[in-house]
Amino acid sequence: MALEESHVRRAAHLARLAVSDDQASGFVDDLSRILDMVDQLQSLDTDGIAPLAHPLDATQRLRADEVTETNQRDAFQRCAPAVENGLYLVPRVVE
């Protein structure tokens, strides 16, 4: 499956990653070579094989619906780039 620059552009948009025009062509080259290597998978017959998501086939454990976390907002916001009154600040999104 050949990779085109439009694929890289779409992935960069979905991943919210700024990619300049110069960088885009480099990524097309690198990612194409990676996907060529990955494409070896297509030669393997996997009909009837179930996908494996967890190496021990574990399933999600459940716990009682109880409050276990304490409020540590101040500690967690100490590493934030911009906060005010306990809120995270971002550029205005609603005019």
Partner 1 sequence: MHDKTVTQLAAALKSGELSSRELTSHFLQRIEQADGTLNSFITVTAEQALDQAEAADNARAAGKAGKLTGIPFALKDIFCTQGVKTSCGSKMLDNFIAPYNATVVEKLNAAGTISLGKTNMDEFAMGSSNENSYFGAVKNPWDLTAVPGGSSGGSAAAVAAGLVPAAMGTDTGGSIRQPAAFCGITGLKPTYGRVSRYGIIAYASSLDQAGPMAKSAEDCAHLLNVIAGHDVRDSTSVARGVPDYTETLNAPLSGLKIGLPKEYFGDGLDADVEKAVREAVKVYESLGATVREVSLPHTHYAIPAYYVIAPAEASSNLSRYDGVRFGHRCDAPADLIDLYTRSRAEGFGDEVKRRILIGTHTLSEGFFDAYYTKAQKVRRLIRQDFLDAFEDVDVLMGPASPTPAFDLGAKKDPVSMYLQDIYTIAVNLAGIPGISVPAGFSNGRPVGLQILGTHFAEAQLLNVAHQFQQATDWHLQRPAFAEENA
Shortest spacing between CB 83 and partner 1, in angstroms: 9
Residues at the site binding partner 1, with contacts judged by CB under 8 A: 1, 3, 7-8, 10-12, 14-19, 27, 30-31, 33-35, 37-42, 44, 46, 49-56, 58, 60-61, 63, 72, 75-76, 78-82, 88, 90-93
DSSP 4-23: -HHHHHHHHHHTT----HHH
Residue 86: which H helix or E strand, with range? Answer: none
Q: What is the DSSP string of 52-76?
A: -SSTT--------S-------HHHH
Closest CB 25 distance from partner 1, rounded Å: 13
Minimum separation from the CB atom of position 42 to partner 1 (A): 7
